[in-house]
Amino acid sequence: MINKVVSNADEAIKDIENGMTLMLGGFGLCGIPENSINALVKKGVNNLTCISNNAGVDDFGIGLMLQKRQVKKMISSYVGENAEFERQLLSGELEVELIPQGTLATRCMAAGYGMPAIFTPAGVGTEVAEGKEIRNFNGKDYLMEMAFDADFAIVKAWKGDTSGNLIFRSTARNFNPVMAMAGKITIAEVEELVEPGQLDPDQIHTPGIYVHRIFQGENYEKRIEQRTVRTR
């Protein structure tokens, strides 16, 4: 098997350069690549275009990169819960492209599946359709949406093996597998890195062929955005 292990987040992201396009997995703060984001903040790389469903909160996740003004453009479906984000957006420092969530996910998948474009009805008749090709199939209109083209995809998995196979846990799966397929270079951070043979081949969510670098992350905070409970 091919060994894809790097020692840590710093090494994994070392050739990410100013102006690049990154995909970052996660939904809200769930399943985000915490270690890699911290390393990007430390490295101080900037002018980034970030494709991520959300933009973190003020002091966690992509919010940390926004605070250091590393992000030129966010491509997301929902960007609430972030005062600094709002300030930069309203002042024109930050560009934002809002995309329907399913379109976002499917444009990632399209890249991973070598399909240059997909058709979706999401956004037909809305401002999302502006400038896009509309096509009717079986009496229904669809927008043609293009596959993403990202320099790096950075994802967070639960377990991974040294040859890059990934398993995600619960709803921390979300965008991670589709982004893992879509990066020109894909970096995976995992909670537990194991040897080949320790993961059941039938249970792999992302086959190692899609993953170029893998490392075991540390100190996962896994912050909860909306703690909701019921009483016993």
* Sole binder of another protein in the list 36, 210, 213, 214 (CB under 8 A): 210
Site string for its own copies, 187-216 (x = CB under 8 A): --------------xxx-------------
The reply to whether 184 sits near its own copies by the rule CB under 8 A is: no
* Sole binder of its own copies in the list 7, 90, 92, 170 (CB under 8 A): 170
Q: Which of residues 14-53 bind another protein (CB under 8 A)?
A: 27-31, 53
Provide, rounded to whole angstroms, the least separation between the CB of residue 69 and its own copies: 32
How many whole angstroms from its chain centre is CA 142?
A: 25
Amino acid at residue number 40: L
Helix (H, G, I), strand (E, B) or coil at 164: coil
**Cβ distance to its own copies smaller for residue 60 or 119:** 119
Q: Which of residues 132-161 bind another protein (CB under 8 A)?
A: 158, 161
Phi, psi of 57 (to 5 degrees): -115, 175
* Sole binder of another protein in the list 40, 48, 62, 79 (CB under 8 A): 79
Strand partners, 188: 155, 214
Site string for its own copies, 78-107 (x = CB under 8 A): ----------------------------x-
- Distance CA(153)–CA(164), nearest Å, equals 14
Provide, rounded to whole angstroms, the least separation between the CB of residue 93 and another protein: 14
Strand partners, 187: 154, 213
Query: How would you label 144-181 residue by residue, b for 16+ Cβ within 10 Å and e otherwise?
Result: ebebbebbbbbbbbbbbbbbbbbbbeeebbbbbbbbbb
Is residue 27 within 8 A of residue 51, CB to CB? The reply is no
Provide, rounded to whole angstroms, the least separation between the CB of residue 105 and its own copies: 10
Pick the piece of the chain touching its own copies (CB under 8 A) from 2-10, 55-63, 116-124, 210-218.
116-124
Is residue 151 within 8 A of residue 187, CB to CB? The reply is no
Q: Which does 178 bind (CB under 5 to 8 A by kind): another protein, its own copies, none?
A: another protein
The reply to whether 142 sits near its own copies by the rule CB under 8 A is: yes
Tokens of 198: 């320790």
* Sole binder of its own copies in the list 71, 104, 143, 167 (CB under 8 A): 167
Taking the CA atoms of residue 104, residue 106, residue 108 and residue 112 in that order, the dihedral angle to the nearest 10 degrees is: 180
The reply to whether 75 sits near another protein by the rule CB under 8 A is: no
Residue 131 host element (H or E): none
Q: Which of residues 81-110 bind another protein (CB under 8 A)?
A: 86, 89-90, 98, 100-106, 108-109
Q: Could you tell me whether strands 117-120 and 213-216 are parallel, antiparallel, or unpaired per DSSP bridges?
A: unpaired
